[in-house]
Chains A and B, each alone.
Chain A
Amino acid sequence: MTDALKSSETSPVSGAPAPVLKAPEGGDASEARSLASDAWRELRRRPLFWISLGIIALFVLMAVVPQLFTRLDPTAASLSRGSDPPEFTWDGAWFGYDLQGYDIYARTIYGARASILVGVFATILTSLIGVVIGTISAYYGGWLDSLMMRVTDIFFAIPFLLGGILFMTTFANDENSGYFLIVGKVVLVLAILGWPSIARLMRGSVLQVKPNEYVQAARALGASPWRVIRSHILPNAMAPVLIVSMINLGAYISAEASLSFLGIGLTPPAISWGVAISDSLTYIETAPHMLIFPSIFLSLTVLGFIMLGDVVRDAFDPKTR
C-alpha cells in the first residue's frame, strides 16, 4: 500500500497519461489551448467577424491602391458638369458629379486613404501614449501615480470638439501644407484628446494584474521592473486596451469627418469623406447625391471597425461563451 501510494505520488502524470487531453465538453479539444486560440475558435464561427473583416479589407485596399477601383483622376474637375446627377449608363458617372465637377465616385474612392490613415495612426498613437502612461502609473503607484492621473484628468476634461477646434484653428492649414502635414495634424489632435481614456483603462487593467502571485514570484526571483512589465504585466493587461482601441478606430474616423465637416480637419487639397460631406451639405435639396455617397462609405467603414471590435471583445470574454 505504501509503495503503491508512493509511486502514485512521484509520477502522477505518467500514471494518468495527460488527463487534460480529454475534455468532457467543448468538442475538439485536442491540442494546446490558450485564451487566444479559444477566442480564435469562437471568432471563426461568427459571420459578423467575417463580414466586418471583409468590409475593413475592402476599405484598406481602397486606401492603399485606389487605382484598382477607378481609372479616373480625382483631381480632374470640369465646372461644366457641376452637380450633375448620377447617370446609370455603362460608361456614366454612377455617383454623379459634385459642385466643382469632380467625379464623386473617384473622390470617394480616393477619400478612403485619409480616413483610414487618420483612424489607424490616431489609434496607434493614443494606444501608445495611453499604455505607457497607464502602465507606469499603476506599476509604480504613489506620488507618480497621483501626478500622472491628475494630468490625465486635465486632458480628459477638455471637451473633444472644443479642443479640436482650438487646436486646429491655432495651427491652421494653409495652401502650402502638404498632405501628410494635414493628416498628421488631425492625428495629433485626436491623440492628444483621446489618450486619457486609454490610460485610465490600462491603469485599471494593470492594477488588476499586478497583485497576482505570478508577478510577485517574478519579483521574488529578482526580475527587473522592465522584465516584470514586459513579460508578465503587459501580456495579461493588454486585452481590454486592444479591443477598446479597435472600437475607437471607428470613432476616430468619424471624429475626423466631424472636424473636416466643421472646416478645420482635413482641408483641400486633401481628399476626404468629411470634406466632401461638409461641402455638399448646403446643396442637400438640389443635389443629394453629393452627400449620400461619401456618407455611406464613411458609415460602412466606421461600422466595420466597431463591429470587429465588438465581436473580438465578446470572443475574448470567457463569460459570454
Chain B
Amino acid sequence: MPEVILSAQNLVKHYPIRTGVMRRVTGQVKAVDGVSFELHQGETLGIVGESGCGKSTLGRLLMRLEEPTSGSVIFQGADWSAARGADMRRIRRDIQIVFQDPYTSLNPRMTVGDIVGEPFEIHSDVVPADKRRARVQELLELVGLNPEHIHRYPHQFSGGQRQRIGIARGIALNPKVLVCDEPVSALDVSVQAQVVNLMEKLQKELGLAYVFIAHDLSVVRHISDRVGVMYLGKMAELGEEDQVYDRPTHPYTQALLSAVPVPDPTLRGKRTQIVLTGDVPSPANPPAGCRFHTRCWKAQDRCKSEVPELIMRADGVGEHESACHFAEPQTIVEVKDVSASQGVEESPAVLTADQVEAIGTEPSQESST
C-alpha cells in the first residue's frame, strides 16, 4: 500500500453558541467530533453523509480554513495544523481545494487567466513571471478548456466549465492532495460525468490524492478507492469502496444505501428498504453513547451509554472499520456502479456523441442570457 500522505487524528471542531448581551458561551455545536482517517498517496477517499453531518467542516479543517478545536492534521509526517508562517505557506501548495458551487467559487471580476494565475502570484517563486501565462494556458488545456479563453470572465462559462476553471486553479501549484468539497453536486448529471471523468484523468496524470466529499452515493462509489460514512460529526464506517457498499456493517450505512434509487425497474420493490424514523438530532446536543441510537432499530441499553469505537469489525468476508456495537453485514441490494458516465454507457437507449455534447453545452447558452 502506498505511503500515507495526509492523516486526520481525532479532529474536533466545536462552534460555541453565544447567547445574551454578554455573549456568554452556553453550548457547543459539535460539527466534527473526533474524526480520524488516513489518506494514501494517489488514492481517493470518499466522504459521504447527509446535510449537516460535518463533512464540509471536515474539508475546511483539512484545508485549515478553520482551526480545529482539538486534534491534528498530519501532512507527510509534519503537523500541518500547527504549522505557521513560511511552513504553512509551503504546505498550502501541496493541499488545495475545489469548491461546491461553481458560481461563487470564481471571482466575477477577474478573468479566467487571473483566477488560474493567482496561485503563481501568491507563490511567486514557483513559475517565473514571464512563463506564467503559458503555464495558465497549459492548465486550461489540461482541464479541457480552450486556452484562448484566458481573457474571459467566469459568467461567460457554463457551470461545468466553471468547475473546470476551479479545478485548474486547484491543481495549478501541483498539489499532492486535492480536497473536493461536493465538486459535482451543483452540476447537471451529464456534466457531473464529464467533471468526474476529468478528475479521474487528472489523478492518473498527476498522481493526486483526493478527499472527495459528497452526498451522492453513486458518484462517490464511482470515484473512490475507500469510503468513509459520516453521521453527526463522527465517522460511522470506513473501508474499501466494495466493503462499505457491498457489505455495510453499520446500520446507518445500511439505511443510507437502501435509499439509493436503483435504475433497474425490474428490481423495484424487491430490495430491502430501511426507512429510518425521526430526524437527525441537533449537533448542539447530540445523543450520548452511539450518536445513531435514537434512530437505530438495533439499539440497546449499551448503545445509549457506551460510545462505539471505529475499529475493525468482521463484515462477513473480511473486516473493515465500523463504529457499531452490533456490527454485522447485511446486503442491501446489488448497487450497480451507477455513476453517470457508466449509466450512459450501459443504458440501452444509447445517446450519440452529438446528443451528449448537446446536453453538455446547453447550460452555457442559458448562462449567457
Q: List chain A positions with a Cβ less than 8 A from chain B.
A: 1-2, 4-16, 18-26, 29, 32-35, 212-214, 216-223, 227, 231-232, 235-236
B369 engages A24 (CB within 8 Å): yes
CB neighbours (8 Å) of A1 from chain B are 345, 350, 353
Would you call B174 an interface residue if the criterion is a C-beta within 8 Å of the partner chain's C-beta atoms? no
CB neighbours (8 Å) of B118 from chain A are 218, 221, 223, 231
Number of interface residues of B (CB under 8 A): 60
Nearest A residue to B100, CB-CB: A213
Most interface-central of A4, A8, A16 (chain B CB within 10 A)? A8
B146 engages A18 (CB within 8 Å): yes
Known: A32-B152, A32-B156. A20 touches B198 (CB 8 A): no
A223 engages B197 (CB within 8 Å): no
Known: A2-B345, A20-B368. A213 touches B122 (CB 8 A): no
CB neighbours (8 Å) of B245 from chain A are none
Our pick among B145, B153, B361 for the contact of A32 (Cβ within 8 Å) is: B153
For the complex of A and B, 8 pairs with smallest distance between CB atoms? A4-B353, A213-B105, A222-B92, A16-B361, A213-B99, A13-B146, A214-B107, A20-B156
CB neighbours (8 Å) of B97 from chain A are 216-217, 220
User: CA separation between A223 and B194, bound complex, in Å?
Assistant: 30
Nearest A residue to B353, CB-CB: A4
User: CA separation between A232 and B110, bound complex, in Å?
Assistant: 9
B368 engages A213 (CB within 8 Å): no
Would you call B302 an interface residue if the criterion is a C-beta within 8 Å of the partner chain's C-beta atoms? no
Would you call B216 an interface residue if the criterion is a C-beta within 8 Å of the partner chain's C-beta atoms? no
User: CA separation between A21 and B198, bound complex, in Å?
Assistant: 25
Would you call B119 an interface residue if the criterion is a C-beta within 8 Å of the partner chain's C-beta atoms? yes
User: CA separation between A217 and B350, bound complex, in Å?
Assistant: 39
Our pick among A12, A18, A22 for the contact of B144 (Cβ within 8 Å) is: A12
B361 engages A19 (CB within 8 Å): yes
Identify whether the interface residues of A are mostly helix, strand, loop, or mixed: helix
User: CA separation between A33 and B369, bound complex, in Å?
Assistant: 11
Would you call B96 an interface residue if the criterion is a C-beta within 8 Å of the partner chain's C-beta atoms? yes
A12 engages B100 (CB within 8 Å): no
Would you call B357 an interface residue if the criterion is a C-beta within 8 Å of the partner chain's C-beta atoms? yes
Known: A16-B360, A34-B153, A213-B104. A9 touches B198 (CB 8 A): yes
Our pick among B60, B65, B144 for the contact of A13 (Cβ within 8 Å) is: B144
Known: A32-B151, A220-B92, A236-B108. A8 touches B101 (CB 8 A): no
A4 engages B352 (CB within 8 Å): yes
A5 engages B119 (CB within 8 Å): no
Our pick among A4, A10, A22, A217 for the contact of B356 (Cβ within 8 Å) is: A4
User: CA separation between A1 and B160, bound complex, in Å?
Assistant: 21
CB neighbours (8 Å) of A12 from chain B are 144-145, 160-161, 194, 357, 360-361
List 23 contacting pairs A-B, 8 Å CB cutoff, sorted by A.
Answer: A1-B353, A6-B197, A7-B353, A9-B144, A9-B193, A9-B197, A10-B201, A12-B161, A12-B360, A20-B368, A21-B368, A33-B153, A33-B155, A34-B109, A213-B105, A216-B97, A220-B97, A221-B92, A221-B122, A222-B93, A222-B123, A223-B118, A227-B122
B365 engages A213 (CB within 8 Å): no
Known: A20-B157, A219-B65, A222-B92. A213 touches B101 (CB 8 A): yes
CB neighbours (8 Å) of B352 from chain A are 4
User: CA separation between A49 and B338, bound complex, in Å?
Assistant: 57
User: CA separation between A217 and B345, bound complex, in Å?
Assistant: 35
Known: A13-B149, A20-B157. A220 touches B65 (CB 8 A): yes
A33 engages B122 (CB within 8 Å): no
CB neighbours (8 Å) of A21 from chain B are 368
B106 engages A214 (CB within 8 Å): yes
B144 engages A235 (CB within 8 Å): no
User: CA separation between A241 and B64, bound complex, in Å?
Assistant: 32
Would you call B89 an interface residue if the criterion is a C-beta within 8 Å of the partner chain's C-beta atoms? yes
User: CA separation between A7 and B356, bound complex, in Å?
Assistant: 11
Most interface-central of A12, A20, A214 (chain B CB within 10 A)? A12
Would you call B341 an interface residue if the criterion is a C-beta within 8 Å of the partner chain's C-beta atoms? yes
CB neighbours (8 Å) of B74 from chain A are none
A8 engages B360 (CB within 8 Å): yes
Would you call B344 an interface residue if the criterion is a C-beta within 8 Å of the partner chain's C-beta atoms? yes
A16 engages B109 (CB within 8 Å): no
B106 engages A19 (CB within 8 Å): no
A221 engages B119 (CB within 8 Å): yes
B197 engages A220 (CB within 8 Å): no
User: CA separation between A223 and B109, bound complex, in Å?
Assistant: 17
